[in-house]
Amino acid sequence: MKVKKYVASTMTEAMKLIRAELGNDAVILNSKVVHTGGFLGFFKKKNIEVIAAVDPIPKDEAIPIVKQKTKNIPKEKEYQFEKQQDIYPENKLESTFHNLRTSELIKEISEIKALLKKGHSTFNESGIPLPGPLHEASLLMEKQEINKQIQAAVLEELIEKWYLTGARASIDEVLSWLKSYICNRIANLTFGGVHFAKQYVNVVGPTGVGKTTTLAKIAADCVLTHKKKAAFITTDTYRIAAIDQLKTYAQLLNVPLEVCYNMEDFQKAANQFADYDIVFIDTAGRNFRNPDYVNDLKKTIDFDRDMETYLVLSLTSKQKDMEEIIEQFSLISIDKLIFTKADETSSYGAMLNVIDKYRIGAAYLTNGQNVPDDILVANPSVITNLLFGVETDERSS
């Protein structure tokens, strides 16, 4: 069975393309209205998208066409009857039943129709009913607040695969397709935690997202698991409690800590820790809407050093706020994102949305306050599992 998708300005034009390539025996499996082109969401062109199929019949098995039955036709032979070419497209499927010799194909198309009818109360944006498993996948993306553009792209892929595989997939199979598509969509970005290629790991972000606790979790893994010689630098001189908190972690890990108030202090600390495997830098949490915050960072930290910078975002934040934070911190080079407070929400779509929009991968996800536990190394699989309800216990490594 050959299946192909066509896009044309009208159904008539689409039918011409289908007949020219697939022949008069083609079957219309699905059709919908799509909008293409445009600028900033306006002036989009309305088109018709049609999925058509044909069961190729070898030339040496071609069956003669007759205009009417006669008494002289042997009963043991099958005949095709000439069909009207101007038949209404929605009835095309019914009319071609007389032209198809493969009963298995007829059964397959009947099943597709039945599945479409079962979804009569659930529709995609074009008004075409979605079969049950595809509808469930659509609802799952809606629940996770994945943005409309990603949803539309995913559904287009799922619908096409649904028909190409015979419209028999279970919800588990469709969910597997969904996860695979999301993974592939972000697979070319850089993910994963500290890999010791850079000597400095700098953690930045707004107030209240858990930077210091997250930094302590990463440092604990490096010291306890990887046996690295580590040190702390903090530039968070705005809150005494923050310095005390980091001092506590430094004592527990038996690593040195230096407090830096300006660039001169930072250079001294960097020279002091020159022979250390890794140096973790904690920064002050400030109002991310104040552009002076990022400028202050650049006055205190030497970003030209051998440094990897992680931007920390809370999953309890609004997506709009996440985007404003990323744009505010674009004044410095952000290598990866860290998402905190995964245990305080059930909606993770904003995480995927910002990764996809800004094309920045993630280093870690945190899901609790326990140090050194409650942290996961981020990768596309971990993110999709979190989005679609699959438990994971991958720890930082």
For 200-387, CATH number out of 3.30.70.3400, 2.60.120.430, 3.40.50.300, 3.30.2090.10 equals 3.40.50.300
Whether cis (ω within 30° of 0) applies to the bond prior to 380 is no
| C-alpha dihedral, 298 to 304 to 308 to 312, nearest 10° | 10
Instruction: Map tokens 């706020």 to a residue.
Output: 321
Task: Give the residue range(s) of CATH 3.40.50.300 domains in the chain.
Answer: 200-387
- Tell me the C-alpha distance between 354 and 340, whole Å: 14
Q: Please state, in angstroms and rounded to a whole number, the distance separating the CA atoms of residues 2 and 18.
A: 12
* SS3 category, 336: strand
- Are the CB atoms for 115 and 131 separated by under 8 Å? yes
For the chain, which ranges sit under pLDDT 50? Answer: 40-41, 58-102, 104-106, 108-109, 111-113, 115-127, 391-397
Q: Are β-strands 65-66 and 80-81 bridged in parallel, bridged antiparallel, or unpaired?
A: parallel
Give residue 60's pLDDT: 47
Contact in structure between 232 and 313 (CB atoms under 8 Å):
no
**pTM confidence score:** 0.67
